[in-house]
Structures are given as C-alpha cells and as structure tokens.
C-alpha cells in the first residue's frame, strides 16, 4: 500500500515537472502557432541562473529566504530570455511557421552549446535547502520533500495561470486568440503583445521547472532541458494544444503511467507506454483531450 | 471599341561585351558535366598524397582523412534523402534518425550477435528499415503539419529508449556495440582498407542522388512538389495525398537505412548517440543550410556540416582561438554553438541556403559592374 502511495506521489512530482514545461509550450503553440524547441533552453537558463545566484548573488543562498531569492532570480532570468527570444527572433518571422521552428531549433542547439561552453558538460551539484533532501511520512510512505515542493509549485502555477486567463483583460485576449486569432486581430486588438506575454509566462514556468527540478534531482546539467522537452511535447499533444487544463490532465496521466510501469515492469517500459498512449490518443482523438482541432 | 496601339519600337540590342557571352556560353555548356567532374575528382582523390595544412590533419590519402571524408559523404547522402521529405514534399519529420539507426544497429546486431555475413545482414537491415518506415509512416501520416512532426519525434524517441535501455541484451546499451569484423569481407577490414570504405560511401552518395533526382523528375515527383505547395489542390485533382506521402516517407526511410549500413562499416560499430533527436535536427540544419528542394544544396550542406562539426573542435583548441579572451574562445570551441548561430543567420539572411548563393552573387556582380543595363 505504501509503495502505491509513494509511486503516486513521485509520479505526481514528475507530472508537476512536465506540467510546468508543457503549460507554456501549449499556450505558445495554441496562440502563436510556434513549436518552440528553445523551451528546453529557458529551463536550462532558469536552472543555471538559480545555481549561479545561490553562490554569487548577495542576499541569495542555498537556504531559507536566500533560496527564495535565488529561485526568483532564476525565474526572472528565464522570463527575460523568453521575452528577448520572442522580440528579437520570433517576431520578425510572424506567420512563417516553418522558419520559426527552424530558428528555435538553431537556438536550442546554440544555446545548450553555450551553457556547456560556459559551465562544462558535466552535471554539477545543485545547492539546495537541507529540508528538500529529507522525506515526509505520508500514510506510511516516505516521500521526498523535493517532489512535494514541485507538486505545490505546479498547483500554484496552474491556479495563477487559470486565474489570469479567466479574470484579466489580457487573459481574455489570449483565450480568444487561441480560439480564433484572425477574429481578435479584426477587432483591432494587437495580438502580438499577447504573444510576448505568453512567451514570458512560458519562460517563467519553464525556468521555475528548471530550478525546482534541479532541487529535486540534486544536479544541474546543460542537457537536462532537452530530455524533459520531448515528454513535454508529448504532454502538450495528448492534452490538446492551447489548453492549460488539458496539459495538467495529460501531465498527470503521463507522469503516473511512467512511474508505475517503470516500477512494476522493466525500467524504460514506462517511457514506451507513454508513446503508445500518444499514438492511441492521436488515432482516436487527434485534437487531444481538451484541445481545438489540429489543422495543417 | 478602339484599340490603342503604341507604335512598335524595336528594342535596342542589348550591349553585351563579346568576351562575356563567350565565357557564359562556355560555362553553360560545361555546367551539366560539373557533377561528373566532381565525381571523378572524388574517385581519384585517394591516390593523391597532397598535404592541405589547416584543412586536413594528414595527407589526403591518410586513413584519418579518408574516414572523415567518408563520414561527410554518407551524411551528404542522408541529407539528400531527408530533403526528399522536407524540401521536396514539405513534410517536417523529426524522426529520421530512427531509420538511420535501424540500418546501423540492424547491420551491427545481425553480424555481431547472430553471426550473419555482411551480404546477408546488409539487405536484411535495409529491408527492415524500409518496412519500419512504411509501418510507422502509415500511422504517423494520419496527422498533418506540426502534429506529424511530434508523432515522428515520439516514435524516434522510442527507438532511442529501446537502444539505450538494452532490452534483450542486443544493443549494448550506453556503451554501444563494436562491430565483429569476422563477418566482413577482407577488403573492408583494417586501417589500410579505409580507402574501400571511402569508395563505398561515395557510391552510396551517388546512388541516393540518382534516386532522388529520378523520383523528383518522375510524375510522382511532380505530385510530391504539388503536395508541398498546396495539399488540398492535389486532393481536388483526385489524387490521394496520403499514398504519395507514404511512398516518399518509406523511400526516404529506406535510403536512410542504407546510409546506416555504410556508416556502421565506416565507424566500425554503433553507438547510442546516433538514435537521438539531435541527429534529425542536424539533418534539418544540413538541408536548410544547403538549400531545401535544390539538386546539390542538401548534399553540399551535409558534407559541409559534418566537416565543420569535426574540424571546428580542433579549430576551437587552436592557438588563434585560445589567444582570444575567454568569453569569445570558450563558445567558439563548441562546434554546435558556431553551427547553430550560422543556422539562425542562414534562416534570416539566406533562406535558399548555399544553393541560392550563385544567383545572389551574380546579382551582386551585375549591380556592381558599371555601365550595364539591368
């Protein structure tokens, strides 16, 4: 019984990580039609900025309030990076989808290589508060605190994004833009400001995933973002592109499936089951759990 | 109704200097033979003992140089095969590495684990890779556009996981699987015989280029170009887009598997990094840098990319770069940083890639020449 609880909670921790990456991807794709391969780079930037701040920034540190400052610095760096990428690289290629994908591919190659050139290819130990290394006993299962931190953060981000989308003017524009971008433009609203905004939100969420994920794993490495990104893509497709709630459901399904099958079956089988789930969803319901229909 | 007709003014004959027309027409006559000349030069290259300091480490016929050139040629062929999907049919597949890896690991496993000879293993690996491409393509092509890219990416990811986790103890996992040379003919074994591998790679490149050209010149190729430009129109004309796309996907998969067989022989084994999505991404970079949908662009892009990928490492550790300040020299020692940056710049400023360079340069030359009317 406690094994099942432990697997459920660690699976949810994984799901939280996927959701943080996938929510931004999904919004960016739903609104701006950009398949963002550079999203893993935002995650890497967030993780390395947190790591750097914990050692070098005055007021920041690996513990207590200093840790919060370090994570905030990492998130700010990821957000800034995402906004710059949108303004400088994506905006000039507006409505040329293939070129946008190509630019983000080039950016992910060059950016990861730059991280690697600056801080080396090997994983580095990540400074983290002592309490994240301990475990909490929940119904007899010993659950690592780092995973619980991820779950709490993902729930907060989910709540914040949903509240933003539902109750603010820009949230309304984004929801309308995902539904029908031409109509929003026709009403005289500059939808490109909303593009920058969703990039900022996505960059912030990915950077948070980067720094909290590094807390969970205990290390930071340049390739971290790339391996998470593929599963985040799968979560986005299963959940339906453009739907934040769909991403949340899909992340939970993918995280739990992966964790349980990897434990009870052979290691690695869970990853394959996730792809099988993707194939089934695409064949039965190509628009995803909660998404609009995907057209060419 | 009156028809207003302007009096016919005979246009003045274009004033073209005599020596220029002579040169252009001679060039125009020679041009179709240029690929043959390049092929002849490539065939004879192993007989040269020329030293090109800075470009290659040893003499042209040293085994190290020949192996590097052979890898470049294989990737030139792979890029040309990938262009059949991306540049000529407009399909953005992120899973091409899977079929290449099927060729590499298929050959390696059949020879090393099952003790087959090369003559049995190579056709089996190519046929297997082609069938795999046909089956997975049949599923993936039910989606279009970005969703298609995602599905192919996910399928390739399964391949990467299968190889890395070493199910059944076949693939050797993270360490890779060195090729057992007992199953190979003598002419392909040993450092002294690198030259035969080089010729094999050249033959592969020639075959791929020939197949791609034949296909794109055929009626099927015209349908594929139509699919790239406007898929609905092809449907309205009464042709089934799904079938034509599946044919292109399967053919490209088979060509990639054949490239895998040659690559496996050149590097003498298989390693898991060739299964990753990075390989597909670099194929995409090669095609875009070279010029998608052009005859020689992807080949040149593939050869150039692999050459730079190998040579930039030694360029990055050279004295000239080390002398630069650290914030410059460190990024420059990462080949992928340089190539990624060049790629982004190419997407912005050279959308046609290397292949569009000649027309761009001739425009520039014309505008710089004084006194010519344009």
- For the segment B327-346, what is each residue's pLDDT rounded down to a tens digit? 677 777 778 888 888 888 88
Q: Which residues of B touch A270 (CB under 8 A)?
A: none
Could you tell me which chain A residue has the CA closest to the CA of B230? A296
A123: closest CA of chain B, how far (Å): 17
Spell out which residues of chain B touch residue A226, defining contact as CB-CB under 8 Å.
Answer: 277
Confidence of residue B257 (pLDDT cuts 50, 70, 90): very high
Banded model confidence at residue A80, pLDDT cuts 50, 70, 90: very high
Q: Which domain holds residue A124?
A: 2-222
Q: pLDDT confidence of B125, banded at 50, 70, 90?
A: very high
The interface predicted TM-score (ipTM) is 0.80
Contact assignment for A279 to B344 by CB distance below 8 Å: no
Contact yes or no for A110 and B92 at CB 8 A? no
Q: Are B191 and B62 in contact (CB under 8 A)?
A: no
- For residues B370 and A244, the model is more confident at A244
Given pLDDT bands bounded at 50, 70 and 90, which one contains residue B126? Answer: very high
Residue B372 has pLDDT above 70, yes or no: no
Name residues 1-40 of chain A within 8 A of B (Cβ): 29, 33, 35, 37
Residue B219: pLDDT band with limits 50, 70, 90: very high
Q: Which of A106, A233, A271 comes nearest B153 by C-beta? A: A233
Q: Which residue did the predictor score with more confidence, B196 or B131?
A: B131
- How far does the CA of residue B85 sit from the closest CA of chain A (Å)? 14
Instruction: Pick the closest to residue B201 from B37, B69, B106 (CA basis).
Output: B69
Is A255 part of any domain? no
Give the residue carrying structure tokens 């599923």.
B139
Summarize the confidence of residues A182-208 as an average pLDDT. 89
Please tell me the predicted confidence (pLDDT) of residue A84: 93
Inspect the interface and report whether the beta carbons of B92 and A29 lie closer than 8 Å.
no
Q: How far apart are CA A147 and CA A212, in angstroms?
A: 9
Contact B146 A286 (CB under 8 A): no
| Structural domain total, chain A | 1
Residue of B nearest to A99 (CA): B347
Residues of chain B contacting residue A92, judged by C-beta atoms under 8 Å apart: 348
Q: What is the pLDDT of residue B20?
A: 47
Chain A partners within 8 Å of B278 (Cβ): 109
Q: Nearest by CB to B147, from A108, A111, A237: name it.
A: A237
User: What residues contact residue B154 under an 8 Å CB cut-off, 6+ apart?
Assistant: A230, A233, A234, A275, A278, A279, B95
pLDDT of residue B2: 45
Asked, for residue A293, whether it belongs to a domain, the answer is no
Q: What percentage of chain B exceeds 90 in pLDDT?
A: 28
Residue B270: strand pairing partners: B177
Do B285 and A105 lie within an 8 Å CB cutoff? yes
A contacts of B352 (beta carbons < 8 Å)? none
How far apart CA A50 and CA B319 sit, in angstroms, is 34
Q: pLDDT per residue over B16-70, tens digit each?
A: 444 444 455 666 677 777 888 888 888 877 777 777 777 777 777 788 888 889 9
The SS3 of residue B59 is: strand
Higher pLDDT, B202 or B310: B202
Q: Closest CB to A296: pick one of B145, B157, B331.
A: B145
Chain B residues inside the 8 Å CB shell of A99? 347, 351
Q: Residues 261 to 280 of A: which have CB under 8 A from any B CB?
A: 266-268, 271-272, 275, 278-279
pLDDT at B25: 61
The dihedral sign for the CA sequence A203, A207, A210, A212? negative
Asked if the structure places residue A84 within a domain, the reply is yes
Q: Which residues of B fall within a CB distance of 8 Å from A102? A: 284, 288, 343, 347
pLDDT of residue B193: 82
Q: Which chain B residue is nearest to residue A104, measuring alpha carbons?
A: B344
A144 found inside a domain: yes
Query: For A23-58, how does the pLDDT look when each residue is reduced to its tens digit (9 = 90+)?
Result: 888 888 888 778 888 888 999 999 999 888 888 877
Centre a 10 Å sphere on the Cβ of residue A124 and count the other Cβ atoms it contains: 15
Contacts of A151 (CB under 8 A, 6+ apart): A9, A12, A13, A16
Residues of chain B with C-beta less than 8 angstroms from the C-beta of A113: 331, 334-337, 340
Confidence band for A83, pLDDT divided at 50, 70 and 90: very high
Antiparallel, parallel or unpaired: β B177-178 and A135-138 = unpaired
A59 assigned to some structural domain: yes
Which B residues in the span 324-363 are in contact with A, Cβ-Cβ below 8 Å? 330-331, 333-337, 339-341, 343-344, 347-348, 351
- Is A283 at the interface with chain B, CB within 8 A? yes
% of chain A residues with pLDDT over 70: 97
Instruction: Note whether B341 contacts A118, CB cutoff 8 Å.
Output: no
Task: Tell me whether residues B337 and A266 touch, CB distance under 8 A.
Answer: no
Give residue A292's pLDDT band: very low, low, confident or very high (50, 70, 90).
Answer: low
Averaged pLDDT, B126-140: 93
Residues of A in contact with B343 (CB under 8 A): 102, 105-106, 109-110
pLDDT at B27: 66
Are B178 and B222 in contact by the 8 Å Cβ rule? The answer is no
Query: Which of B154, B164, B343 faces A275 most closely, judged by CB atoms?
Result: B154
The whole-number pLDDT of residue A204 equals: 93
A294: confidence class by pLDDT, cuts 50, 70, 90:
very low
To the nearest whole number, what is the mean pLDDT of chain A?
85
Taking the CA of residue A29 and the nearest CA in chain B, the distance in Å comes to 10
Q: Lowest mean pLDDT of A130-139, A200-209, B80-89, B150-159, name the range.
A: A130-139
Average confidence score pLDDT of chain B: 82
Is the predicted pLDDT of residue B251 greater than 80, yes or no?
Answer: yes
Q: Tell me the per-residue pLDDT of A272-281, one tens digit each, with 9 for 90 and over.
A: 888 888 888 8
pLDDT value at position B371?
Answer: 55
């Amino acid at each position: 019984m406690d094994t099942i609880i432990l697997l459920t909670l660690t699976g949810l921790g994984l799901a939280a990580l996927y959701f943080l990456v996938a929510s931004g991807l999904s919004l960016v794709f739903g609104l701006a039609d950009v398949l963002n391969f550079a999203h893993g780079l935002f995650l890497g930037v967030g993780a390395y900025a947190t790591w750097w701040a914990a050692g070098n920034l005055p007021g920041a540190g690996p513990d207590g309030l200093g840790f919060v400052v370090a994570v905030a610095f990492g998130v700010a760096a990821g957000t800034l990076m995402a906004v710059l990428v949108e303004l400088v690289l994506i905006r000039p290629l507006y409505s040329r989808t293939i070129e946008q994908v190509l630019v983000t591919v080039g950016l992910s190659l060059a950016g990861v290589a730059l991280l690697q050139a600056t801080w080396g290819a090997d994983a580095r130990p990540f400074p983290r508060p002592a309490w994240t290394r301990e475990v909490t006993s929940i119904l007899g299962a010993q659950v690592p605190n780092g995973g619980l931190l991820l779950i709490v953060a993902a729930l907060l981000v989910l709540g914040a994004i949903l509240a933003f989308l539902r109750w603010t003017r820009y949230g309304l524009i984004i929801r309308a833009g995902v539904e029908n971008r031409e109509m929003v433009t026709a009403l005289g609203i500059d939808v490109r400001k909303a593009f920058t905004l969703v990039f900022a939100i996505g960059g912030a969420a990915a950077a948070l995933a980067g720094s909290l994920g590094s807390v969970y794993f205990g290390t930071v490495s340049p390739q971290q973002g790339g391996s998470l990104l593929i599963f985040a893509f799968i979560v986005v497709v299963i959940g339906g592109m453009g739907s934040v709630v769909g991403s949340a459901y899909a992340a939970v399904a993918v995280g739990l499936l992966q964790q349980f099958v990897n434990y009870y079956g052979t290691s690695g089988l869970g990853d394959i089951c996730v792809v099988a789930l993707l194939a089934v969803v695409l064949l039965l319901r190509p628009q995803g759990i909660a998404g609009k229909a995907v057209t060419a | 109704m009156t028809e207003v007709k302007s009096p016919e003014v005979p246009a003045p004959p274009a004033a073209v200097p005599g020596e220029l027309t002579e040169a252009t027409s001679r060039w125009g006559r020679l041009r179709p033979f240029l690929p043959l000349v390049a092929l002849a030069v490539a065939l004879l290259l192993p007989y040269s003992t020329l030293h090109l300091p800075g470009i290659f480490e040893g003499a042209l016929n040293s085994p190290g140089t020949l192996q590097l050139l052979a890898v470049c040629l294989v990737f030139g062929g792979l890029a040309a095969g990938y262009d059949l999907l991306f540049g000529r049919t407009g399909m953005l597949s992120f899973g091409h590495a899977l079929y290449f890896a099927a060729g590499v690991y298929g050959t390696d496993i059949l020879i090393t684990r099952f003790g087959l000879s090369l003559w049995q293993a190579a056709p089996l690996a190519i046929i297997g890779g082609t069938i795999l491409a046909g089956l997975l393509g049949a599923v993936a092509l039910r989606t279009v556009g970005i969703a298609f890219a995602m599905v192919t990416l996910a399928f390739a990811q399964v391949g990467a996981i299968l190889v890395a986790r070493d199910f059944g103890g076949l693939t050797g996992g993270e360490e890779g699987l060195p090729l057992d040379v007992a199953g190979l003919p003598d002419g392909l074994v040993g450092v002294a015989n690198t030259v035969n591998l080089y010729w094999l790679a050249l033959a592969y490149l020639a075959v791929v280029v020939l197949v791609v050209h034949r296909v794109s010149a055929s009626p099927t190729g015209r349908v594929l170009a139509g699919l790239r430009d406007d898929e609905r129109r092809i449907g309205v004309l009464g042709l089934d887009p799904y079938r034509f796309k599946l044919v292109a996907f399967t053919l490209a998969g088979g060509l990639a598997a054949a490239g895998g067989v040659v690559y496996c022989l050149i590097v003498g084994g298989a390693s898991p990094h060739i299964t990753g999505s990075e390989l597909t991404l670099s194929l995409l970079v090669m095609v875009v840098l070279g010029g998608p949908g052009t005859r020689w662009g992807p080949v040149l892009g593939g050869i150039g990319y692999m050459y730079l990928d190998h040579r930039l490492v030694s360029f990055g550790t050279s004295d000239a770069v080390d002398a630069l300040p650290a914030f410059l020299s460190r990024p420059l020692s990462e080949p992928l940083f340089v190539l990624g940056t060049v790629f982004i710049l190419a997407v912005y400023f050279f959308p046609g890639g290397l292949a569009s360079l000649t027309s761009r340069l001739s425009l520039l030359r014309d505008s710089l020449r004084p006194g010519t009317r344009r």
